[in-house]
Structure 1
Amino acid sequence: MNSGRYRLTLVTDGRPMLQGWWASETVVRGKFSAWVGRHGDRPGAQITLIDEETDSSLAQWPEDQ
């Protein structure tokens, strides 16, 4: 069971590598930026931020995905 509303996911080459859930949108947006900086150079990296309460995408990297 996850305790946060906001889910952050890192996929590389089509495989999920990391996931995390946070209750605070402010905190998770900081994590999103940190993950892009840390993992954005991995082959085929895609990072998404989802609001699970509204089932909406709040951010994705790269942006053209």
Structure 2
Amino acid sequence: MTTPERYRLTLTVAGRPVQHGWWASEAVARSKFASWVGEWGRPGARITLTDEVTGETLTTWPNAE
């Protein structure tokens, strides 16, 4: 069973939330993540994909490392 709105994308610019999106499918959310990086990935932006059920951050742009 999928959980509606399980996977959340957050776009912040200069530390302020600008856009959010939620998807039930991790595959769809990861595809949207790649799309957001292409559209919004510039200095000062941060994009985070989070599993809302587990609380785990699945990926970020730019990489946290």
Structure 2 portions without partners, runs of 5+: none
Task: Tell me the residue number matched to 1:46.
Answer: 46
Deviation of 1:64 (Å): 2.9
Question: Residue 46 of structure 1 aligns to a residue in which SS?
Answer: strand
Corresponding residue pairs, total? 62
For the residues of structure 1 that align with 2:41 and 2:31, how far apart are their CA atoms?
A: 15
For the residues of structure 2 that align with 1:60 and 1:30, how far apart are their CA atoms?
A: 13
Deviations 1:23-56 (CA, angstroms, capped at 9, x unpaired): 0000000000000000002x41000000000000
TM (normalized to structure 2)? 0.90
Deviation of 1:58 (Å): 0.3
What RMSD over aligned residues (CA atoms) do the two structures have, in Å? 1.1
Structure 1 portions without partners, runs of 5+: none
**Deviating 4+ runs (over 2 angstroms):** none
Task: Tell me the residue number matched to 1:17.
Answer: 18
For the residues of structure 2 that align with 1:37 and 1:5, how far apart are their CA atoms?
A: 23
